[in-house]
Structure 1
Amino acid sequence: MKRSSALLATATLASACGLAHAQADFYRRAIPPNVSEGGTVGAAVLVGSKYQGSDESRVRVLPSIDYQWSNGFFAGALNGVGYNASTQPDRAYGVRVTADFGRKERRSVALRGLGDIDARPELGAFFNVSPASGITLSSSLRYGSGNDRKGLVVDLGAGWSTPLSPSVRVGSTLATSWVNSDYMQDYFGIGADQALRSGYAQFAPSSGFRDVRLGASMVYRILPAWSVAGSVTYTELLGDARRSPIVRQKGSTSAVLALGYSF
């Protein structure tokens, strides 16, 4: 299942990108643990919300390429650019640079008057461990999002996967994200100037858990190097994010269909 495991990582990336915030949350190996070097390339159709809390859908087609070197360095759309210091197949830890892609005011009528949130690089660290076969506990920290570059996101998650046959693998994930008040203000708050321009009441959210996410995926190996994957993720907003004036829908579903090649 080397190739399908690699594509599963690519499909998970696509699922993360398909969420409204469009960020790579966890570090995921682009290649199976028993392979020292290699990568994946592919494309995915993503269906998700226009922004976090939107009730409007957005469809995108995105390419993806990731590579991992035998010395621990990696680069690509899935994980950003960084270094995995672990040489053990059941754990990963290190540092990386990822991207917060921001949000454009023109994306939705509901965002008019709020202005753009610029794309920013995020500095971060990660730690993953697999306590048993098919189970992975993941964590990551990312800092630098938002117009003031002060947004902090801490992601915690658990994943499970198992093969149903030599060609089919299924999996599920449960994850949550804690964010600081700077991040919350940028993405869910309404400042004084924004209130005047948009007509929304001022809203100053506090730090806290932003959401909880539950996902399911399936990967089918078409050929030794080619796989197709599908995933569905349900996201429920929490805390002050849930109470924001711009939130039209507290729970949302995103879906992904991806085709990938392992090399």
Structure 2
Amino acid sequence: MLGSLSSASAQEISAPVGNHSHLLGLGTAYVPDYAGAANSRLVPALFAEYQNEEGFFASTTRGLGKLTRHANWTSSIALSYRAGRPEHPALLYLSPTEALRGMDDISGSMTANLGASARLSDSVTLSSMASFDLKQEDNGNSLQLGISAAIWQSMHDQIELKTTLHYGDASYNQRYFGISTTQSLRSGLPAMASSAGWNRSLCSVAWTHVIDQNWSVRTLAGIQHMLNDAAESPLSKMSGNLLLISTVNYSF
């Protein structure tokens, strides 16, 4: 969960094509243990990214790839890593959680990501990102669609609203939100089959404050809502999760 939120924040402030740029970010985030979890925790938020004038980038959140600028839209292709979901994520969160007991570890895997974005106006942007699993077939594939709007902007500040919808194929949704018969016996939760469909949405507001040509601060607050089969899953203890992230960023 932290990875996805950090990725969203990093991509929104990443280097534009046409300039060599490095970007480092460090801060903290308040996120649920997993999508739909009842418990949330404070965890570190950090990322690093480089992008050159041709659009090639290396990023802890976007992976390795290339961003191409077209007449009024951009496209990207990247090789990235989708983090897994451990049954007992004690090392990740510094203290154990029993919410996923009996659900097995979900292994991390490499993904091929295809993205596109288009500016509808000076302030409104549409975006999409398809993620194809290259290693763990059972982990499935996903798609994100988003729309963002800069509602206020000054020389040093910008406030932006964004809504993102997340879609998973049958394998993805079953892996993350379904419960097999074996998992049901181990966890005590009722078995559930999950089909392809939209599984969650995220509505957020982000404030970016530019201190100078190198330093900036970005703070994002959002509400994540579970949808369809994901909302009905016994793993989804909350229909909505609060997400908060704030980072201090240095670009050079």
Normalising by structure 1, report the TM-score: 0.85
Could you say what the CA RMSD is over the residues aligned between the two structures, in angstroms?
Answer: 2.3
Are residues 1:30 and 2:14 paired? yes
For residues 5-16 of structure 1, the aligned pairs below 5 Å read none
Which of 199, 215, 224 aligns to 2:204? It is 215
**Contact 2:45/2:245 (8 A) holds in 1:** no
Partner-residue secondary structure (3-state), 1:114? coil
1:5 aligned partner: none
| Sequence identity (%) | 24
Distance 1:248 1:237, change over 3 A: same
| Partner Cα distance (2:217, 2:35) in 1 | 27
For residues 64-79 of structure 1, the aligned pairs below 5 Å read 64-79=47-62
Paired residue type of 2:179: I
| Partner Cα distance (1:223, 1:69) in 2 | 21
CA offset digits 1:36-57 (Å, max 9, x no partner): 3212112120101001110101
Distance 1:246 1:145, change over 3 A: farther
Partner-residue secondary structure (3-state), 1:132? coil
| Partner Cα distance (2:54, 2:7) in 1 | 26
Distance 1:201 1:242, change over 3 A: same
Aligned pairs, number: 245
- Unpaired runs of at least 5, structure 2: 90-96
Which of 9, 18, 35 aligns to 1:52? It is 35
Paired residue type of 2:77: V
| Partner Cα distance (1:196, 1:220) in 2 | 51
Partner-residue secondary structure (3-state), 1:201? coil
**Contact 1:40/1:66 (8 A) holds in 2:** yes
2:67 aligned partner: 84
Query: 77-86 or 139-148, which moves further after superposition?
Result: 139-148
For residues 13-162 of structure 1, the aligned pairs below 5 Å read 17=3, 19=5, 28=12, 30-32=14-16, 35-88=18-71, 90-107=72-89, 108-144=97-133, 147-161=136-150
Q: Which structure's relative contact order is higher, taking Cα pairs within 8 Å and 6+ residues apart?
A: 1
**Contact 2:124/2:147 (8 A) holds in 1:** yes
- Unpaired runs of at least 5, structure 1: 1-14
**Contact 1:16/1:24 (8 A) holds in 2:** no
2:94 aligned partner: none
Distance 1:228 1:26, change over 3 A: closer
Normalising by structure 2, report the TM-score: 0.89
Partner-residue secondary structure (3-state), 2:199? strand
**Contact 1:40/1:261 (8 A) holds in 2:** yes
